[in-house]
Structure 1
């Protein structure tokens, strides 16, 4: 095969991949919004435009970004999961308790944390699909139940984590200067892209959310696909729990209350439709980074916390309005 033809095929393949990653309705608005935030805060604060600050933004947004990858699958499937914050708290407690009672093994702790998140997701998916109860109500109930269980197992007290390997792998370690929380975020993003955009399961998720009737007549098991989406979200909530527990050197049952709102905001800001059938992983990541950058820049500018909430709310609504379907 001539070299020119091989080069043309490589360029065509690269273009198809780029087009897949950038798919969505008017995604360029996300990049414009992100670029405007970077420019404005760079001029407004002399401390914003630095590697250390960007790494700090990455660490601050890691938990939301990781869980938002899973939430993207759930929302594309025309569902919602309000229990991710409580699932994270319960998963963190499970990981810490497993390590403290089973030979202080970080592997056991990781399995316990991720497994607990998967169980919560499986329960959400099973009740939603088998009992035909709206996922909003199901996950609202599991939000309360999981949080209550996390408080019960330790009588509201934190569980200290002393395993240095666990803390290094999930919280304080780094590779080539990149902190572990950011590395886990990148791993979740790459896995989410491959699963959503390059697998049969991803195509089934889009079909189940876009037109459930047509998907059913096409032979797609909508119950199974939807349940797996909830399980994936639970797994990623468990991973986020490991990251948070390692960074804090402890698991607390009262952490990240209200995180589900930031997660859902990141997904919708990233171009995912709450009516299902539309969304892409890179958009979700950008949505999370926009919210994280906005929080970081407002703190550097010394804006009061109450005004921060007002500004963030207005900007999120405006951004979603520009990127809506």
Structure 2
């Protein structure tokens, strides 16, 4: 009896193996943390599903509404990308935003009714909180999780204390138009500020020495230190950048609301971290990119918008966002 395997049988066995191998390579390509291929697919699927589920979803006005709704998260998430790539985290961005908005409104009320003064006060306050986070983390060797957890409470308490929990009304029309209700060539200014932050983030992270130092500090701190990189300075600057962008987001929110409130955006940290991790940024440092962060923010914003149009409760939305964070960390874990 001839036990040899015919060439036809061998070919039939090899073909499924090759297909499985190609399938594994395709899955690895889609799920790897430093490329947005899977995000593009997920975003496209969301658009298709919600366009069929709701007749109001697929419209220019709704897309502009999504852009305005995600502006705060997108702007702050750009800065958070730098911090997380540097192997740190900032839990205080929501409180920093609230305090920065109060600083901007109070500066225009008591120092000078000028939008430039308000902008400097808001962004400057955010940068100061970021610098404090960076100094305490890097100089005192305290984990950034604990430092920013403390400044989260302190900044929120200070925002509530300066006006005894009362909002501060903003009457400067120029400030409102520049940061909140104006438009540039038909594009609402919150979206314009988001695009400006994205472009600046891309140039700084991907096309500058500082960006390469951020990747080195988070990817391999020991090698970066022996290469002459001042990890303390680089990481502190990442915190400062995040705080300043939280200040910019505060200007956008205050201008849209015509007032600064000390109790706004509680829980913003969840949306920001979800956007960054969903966008392919590893919580273990050394990996991430700005475009992915923007796409992650848009996915969460689109998901929120679609769920609202479908009448899904806010509590279930929180559950979904929490599951997204867990899934993103699982896919980006080294």
TM-score (norm 2): 0.88
Whether the aligned pair in 2 keeps the contact of 1:294 and 1:312 (CA below 8 Å) is no
**For structure 2, which runs of at least 5 residues remain unmatched after alignment?**
1-31
Q: Distance in 2 between matches of 1:111 and 1:197?
A: 27
Whether the aligned pair in 1 keeps the contact of 2:214 and 2:234 (CA below 8 Å) is yes
Cα drift, residue 291 of structure 1 = 0.4
Which residue number corresponds to residue 307 of structure 1? 316
Cα drift, residue 302 of structure 1 = 1.4
Whether the aligned pair in 2 keeps the contact of 1:83 and 1:142 (CA below 8 Å) is yes
Which residue number corresponds to residue 126 of structure 1? 135
Q: Distance in 2 between matches of 1:171 and 1:41?
A: 28
Cα drift, residue 86 of structure 1 = 0.5
Whether the aligned pair in 2 keeps the contact of 1:269 and 1:316 (CA below 8 Å) is yes
- 1:44 equivalenced with 2:49 (yes/no): no
Alignment RMSD: 1.3
Q: Distance in 2 between matches of 1:57 and 1:98?
A: 30
Cα drift, residue 27 of structure 1 = 2.2
**Partner SS state of residue 271, structure 1:** coil
Which residue number corresponds to residue 139 of structure 1? 148
Structure 1 residues 57 and 153, CA, compared in 2 at 3 Å: closer, same or farther? same
TM-score (norm 1): 0.91
Cα drift, residue 303 of structure 1 = 1.7
Which residue number corresponds to residue 185 of structure 2? 176
Structure 1 residues 320 and 41, CA, compared in 2 at 3 Å: closer, same or farther? farther
Cα drift, residue 322 of structure 1 = 4.4
Q: Distance in 1 between matches of 2:305 and 2:275?
A: 15
Which residue number corresponds to residue 296 of structure 1? 305
- 1:194 equivalenced with 2:208 (yes/no): no
Q: Distance in 1 between matches of 2:129 and 2:323?
A: 33
Cα drift, residue 228 of structure 1 = 0.2
Which residue, 259, 267, 277 being the options, matches 1:268?
277
Which residue, 289, 295, 300 being the options, matches 1:286?
295
**Partner SS state of residue 39, structure 2:** helix
Structure 1 residues 60 and 311, CA, compared in 2 at 3 Å: closer, same or farther? same
Q: How many residues align?
A: 303
Cα drift, residue 26 of structure 1 = 4.2
Q: Distance in 1 between matches of 2:156 and 2:118?
A: 19
**For structure 1, which runs of at least 5 residues remain unmatched after alignment?**
1-22
Whether the aligned pair in 2 keeps the contact of 1:87 and 1:237 (CA below 8 Å) is yes
Cα shift readout 1:145-173 (whole Å, capped 9, x = no counterpart): 11111111101100000000000000000
Cα drift, residue 177 of structure 1 = 1.2
Structure 1 residues 235 and 38, CA, compared in 2 at 3 Å: closer, same or farther? same
Cα drift, residue 54 of structure 1 = 0.2
Cα drift, residue 320 of structure 1 = 4.9
Cα shift readout 1:16-61 (whole Å, capped 9, x = no counterpart): xxxxxxx953420111111100000011111000000000000000
Which residue number corresponds to residue 163 of structure 1? 172
Which residue number corresponds to residue 84 of structure 2? 75
Runs of 4+ in 1 over 4 A off after TM superposition: 322-325
Which residue number corresponds to residue 8 of structure 1? none
Q: Distance in 2 between matches of 1:154 and 1:119?
A: 20
Whether the aligned pair in 2 keeps the contact of 1:26 and 1:323 (CA below 8 Å) is no
Structure 1 residues 32 and 319, CA, compared in 2 at 3 Å: closer, same or farther? farther
Which residue number corresponds to residue 104 of structure 2? 95
**Partner SS state of residue 37, structure 1:** helix
Cα drift, residue 323 of structure 1 = 5.3
Which residue number corresponds to residue 111 of structure 1? 120
Cα shift readout 1:52-93 (whole Å, capped 9, x = no counterpart): 000000000000000000000000000000000000000000
Structure 1 residues 324 and 35, CA, compared in 2 at 3 Å: closer, same or farther? farther
Q: Which has the larger radius of gyration?
A: 2
Cα shift readout 1:239-290 (whole Å, capped 9, x = no counterpart): 0000000000000001001101110110000000001000000000011000
* Mapping for residues 56-67 of structure 1, pairs under 5 Å: 56-67=65-76
Structure 1 residues 207 and 319, CA, compared in 2 at 3 Å: closer, same or farther? closer
